[in-house]
Structure 1
Amino acid sequence: MRFTYTSFVLAAAAALALAACSFAPSGEPPAMPSSGHYGAQAQVSKTVTAGGVVQSFDIGATPGPQWWRLYRSDALDALVDEGLRNSPTLAATQRTLSAAQEELRAQVGASTLPSIDGAVQVERARSPVVPGLGPEQVQYNFFAGQLLAHYTFDLFGQTRYMNSGNAARVNVQAFELEASRRALAANIVGSAINVAAFDRQIALTEQLVAVSNDAASDDVQRYAMGSLSRAQALASKQDAAAIAATLPALRQQRALAIHALAVLIGRTPDNAPSVPDLDSLSLPEHVPVAVPSDLLRSRPDIRAADAAVKAAAADVGAATAQLFPSLSLTGSMGRGGFSWPAVLSGAGGLWAIGAGLSQPIFHGGALFAQRRASIDAYDAAVLHYKSTVLSAFQDVANSLAALDNDAQTLASNEAATEAAHEAFDDTATRHRMGSLPSSATHATEARYLNARIGAARAAGQRMSDTAALFQAMGELPAPQQTSASTQ
């Protein structure tokens, strides 16, 4: 039975040696379908005019770093710079990457170059006493100094594959660091915009609450004078209370956003930063949109998945190479003796040299199981790469559709705001002339304030979705890849 299994192992090893391509897959990511646009519908070249801005989508443009500066706000730039500089999460990820790079250098040096060690031995000993044989006791000194060398030949590339896989894993961490940096910048920008939008909505809602309270007071007086029913007066008080009830929710959302922003930039929530006003932020007019084929090279998460495929392919090669023989050389040289004169004399020379060849024969099927496991892991890495690419395309498609719809929403809100403003001005003028009661003025002013709240919400959402698109495109520069051969 043992002979049969041994023959099977040797035959399999010979077959693998003849088919060098079976050592490892190429490690190249699979080809992905690429169309001229991301979404279900063809991408428009620009949005409608909203907020006085027409956003143009520059198809095929190269994404650039520090995209947040396109908002032209020094205060926003300072927040992002502080976050990138002080974020403990980002710093921890950077340190983890540095540790992985140093471990890779150590692994490459230890596995590709001979190891040489020095050893010194100084010993004083006493031999056992044997009655009737020689002196009663023997004491002696021993001195030795040696250099020990060891080297294992990478005959079938196992070491090379292992180092290549480890280097690819370091690249995964490097790209993940870049993705974390991009996500941090986008989260800071989004949080700052949300806080600014909440500030605008809270200020307008406070005005709306004041107007609603005035309207309720007027209706109470009219009820007391008999010109209004009690039901209508109570309805006015109910409306005013309902509007006032929206303020705590807005303030809570604002508190959550500012606390999150403080933590993102490395501060405690009680030391939250000041946030630029919504009007001080300029919406980027030109948005670069990389073609799908270029997106594969610009997004760090896709490049990390690509590096993971290369690492898994190298693991297959290493698992295959361990089925083949391994050759090692050892050597030592030095001097030794029982006294210093003997050590320094010609008789004190010591040396040794040896070679060892090992071939796996029977490991209970473990080596073949490890190779099959590495192949399965490679297939999983390829599928994960495909999933990452599809998710990236989805992110871009969603962001592009959001910006188009955001512009239309803001334009509609602005039209409603303009109409409500004109109605309020007209009603206020007629009230001053005595042709309309104050209740009519309150009603039109409330509609005007509601329209402005909707416009502020839409403007903030448009700015936030623009930041999301910049993040989805992968604007920040990609890290330098780590190569096992250069460590």
Structure 2
Amino acid sequence: MPPAIMLAAVLGGCAVGPDFVPPPAPSVSDYVRGGDTGNTPAGEGEVQHFASGAPVPVQWWRMFGSDALDRALDAALAGNPSLQIAEANLRQADAAARAGAGVFYPQVAVQAQASRQTGTPVRMGSDASPGIFNVFTLGATVSYALDVFGGNRRAVEALAAQAEAQRYAVGAAWLTLTGTLVNTAIARAGYAAQISTTDALVKVVREQVEVTRAQVSAGTSTHASELSLLSQLGSLEATLPSLEQRLDQADHLEATLSGRFPSESEPLALSLESLMLPTELPRVLPSELVQRRPDVLAAQAELHVAAAKVGVATAAMLPSIALSASYGREGLQPGALFAAAGGVWGVAAAAFAPVFQGGTLYFGRRAAQAQFEAAQANYRQVVLAAFAQVADALRALEHDALTVDAQDRAREAARQLMSEVQANYRAGTAGYLQLLVANAQYQQASLGYIQARTQRLQDTVALFLALGGAWDGPTPTP
């Protein structure tokens, strides 16, 4: 560092290294190309509106209208080990920052010592016999390191920023927990509905097999028709174990998220029909998103840490000054500690300036600068990913609405066809096999609708998560 800059730093009391300035919000006004829509298309008669200025509810999952889901979230937030780990790490980081701030105060120590020793008068030019005596000492020392170039300030600044990053890590853990549990509950409801519908479809196909088998025996149908139905039946039956396994995994995950063992937890058995689709959704401006998402804020705090560490590494290359003072009492007997001749004192000022360290300090600063550049790039990457997630969720909700609407129309058409065939069967103008085929078509259409409905609910969850939820975590206690 040039002498003029060093002198300015000393006189101005400033800290070396870059002063951290939060990155500006992105200048984009929309999340998706072509502009953000104000609402989704109608899907099953339901339109989701994006209300400008509407806040993201803290307990956003309550918008799904399930008391059982609300209770499960309350239990998970109270018992989840991962969230407890993050909160403990926050308390640790906050305590470390408070401990680091002690460097700004004088360091005071007291000491008391009693010793028995021997001394030889030879060192004093005397040939007297050595003597044994006691020495009692009582004293105090005060020392203070002058933070001339702000290295200590930058170090404490880094600790405070690390605590801030951990605070947002708690937010990320909170958001991950709530989002994962709600998604798991929705997925389980979808699996249960698919299992029920698939069971009904298997029964229908089995009846078709029996009817066709009878027709083959009577010579009114071909054996190939029976084999085709048997193949279809086997394929349907093969889907059931997979669906049941996914349902079991959802139960196990829900128990784990709540801090319970799977064997001791009752399943969160919601029906898909009991979950409401939130129709009034918040709209967060792109300029506000970076101030809401815990992962973006954590990346910003890590950038602050890296900036402060550049200052620490820079200050390590510059001179340091420490002041100290001591006062004590000494005596050969405890009662003589406060005698007139028993006082000892001292004051000192020490300066240390690194001259040659084999490149350790220079390259340490280069490493800190490279870390700062990496933190800048990481922040940009996190922001880009955040905007992409919001854009994905917005587009997904548009596509989900169209998919649900098409699947609902297909299901309704299949239901009407089945009703007509049932009427014709009762009138004797349609055969039982035709009735079974219509029923199978309806069940297949129902499966498509269940999957589309489940995906629409889960993509709504994805939007809440992409917007950063509304986490406002606890303030660490002293």
Query: TM-score, with normalisation over the residues of structure 2?
Result: 0.94
Q: CA deviation at 1:168?
A: 0.6
Who is 1:225 aligned against? 218
For 1:229 and 1:465, the matched residues in 2 are separated by: 46
Who is 1:353 aligned against? 347
Instruction: Confirm or deny that 1:100 pairs with 2:93.
Output: yes
Q: Which one of 391, 394, 398 corresponds to residue 392 of structure 2?
A: 398
* 8 Å contact from structure 1 (residues 171, 481) kept in 2: no
Who is 1:407 aligned against? 401
Aligned partner of residue 298 in structure 1, secondary structure: coil
Instruction: Confirm or deny that 1:12 pairs with 2:17.
Output: no
For 2:159 and 2:4, the matched residues in 1 are separated by: 27
One-letter code aligned to 1:274: L
Who is 1:429 aligned against? 423
Instruction: Confirm or deny that 1:456 pairs with 2:450.
Output: yes
The 10-residue stretch of structure 1 (211-220 or 16-25) with the greater mean CA deviation from structure 2:
16-25
Who is 2:323 aligned against? 329
Who is 1:339 aligned against? 333
Instruction: Confirm or deny that 1:267 pairs with 2:260.
Output: yes
For 2:407 and 2:447, the matched residues in 1 are separated by: 9
Instruction: Confirm or deny that 1:249 pairs with 2:242.
Output: yes
Instruction: Confirm or deny that 1:276 pairs with 2:306.
Output: no
Who is 1:164 aligned against? 157
Change (3 A) 1:386 1:29: farther
Q: Which one of 369, 376, 385 corresponds to residue 379 of structure 2?
A: 385
Change (3 A) 1:186 1:298: same
One-letter code aligned to 2:106: P
Q: Which one of 288, 293, 299 corresponds to residue 293 of structure 2?
A: 299
Instruction: Confirm or deny that 1:200 pairs with 2:193.
Output: yes
Q: CA deviation at 1:477?
A: 2.9
For 2:58 and 2:345, the matched residues in 1 are separated by: 61
Who is 1:185 aligned against? 178
RMSD, aligned CA: 2.2
For 2:362 and 2:17, the matched residues in 1 are separated by: 14
Deviating 4+ runs (over 6 angstroms): 19-22
Who is 1:6 aligned against? none
For 1:377 and 1:479, the matched residues in 2 are separated by: 28
For 1:120 and 1:22, the matched residues in 2 are separated by: 38
Aligned partner of residue 318 in structure 2, secondary structure: coil
For 1:184 and 1:474, the matched residues in 2 are separated by: 13
Q: Which one of 94, 103, 107 corresponds to residue 115 of structure 1?
A: 107
For 1:274 and 1:375, the matched residues in 2 are separated by: 50
Who is 1:125 aligned against? 117
Who is 1:91 aligned against? 84
Change (3 A) 1:14 1:478: farther
Aligned partner of residue 45 in structure 1, secondary structure: coil
For 1:459 and 1:40, the matched residues in 2 are separated by: 26
Q: CA deviation at 1:236?
A: 1.7
* Matched positions, count: 471
Structure 1 unaligned runs (5+)? 1-10
1:388-427 Cα deviation digits (max 9, x unpaired)? 1000000000011111111110110000000000000000
* 8 Å contact from structure 1 (residues 29, 382) kept in 2: no
Who is 2:60 aligned against? 67
Q: CA deviation at 1:263?
A: 0.9
Structure 2 unaligned runs (5+)? none
1:287-339 Cα deviation digits (max 9, x unpaired)? 11201000010111111111111111111122222222211111111211111
Q: CA deviation at 1:194?
A: 0.2
For 1:311 and 1:13, the matched residues in 2 are separated by: 27
Aligned partner of residue 346 in structure 2, secondary structure: strand
For 1:102 and 1:314, the matched residues in 2 are separated by: 19
Aligned partner of residue 267 in structure 1, secondary structure: coil
Aligned partner of residue 145 in structure 2, secondary structure: strand
- % same residue: 33
One-letter code aligned to 2:456: R
For 1:53 and 1:271, the matched residues in 2 are separated by: 39
Who is 1:373 aligned against? 367
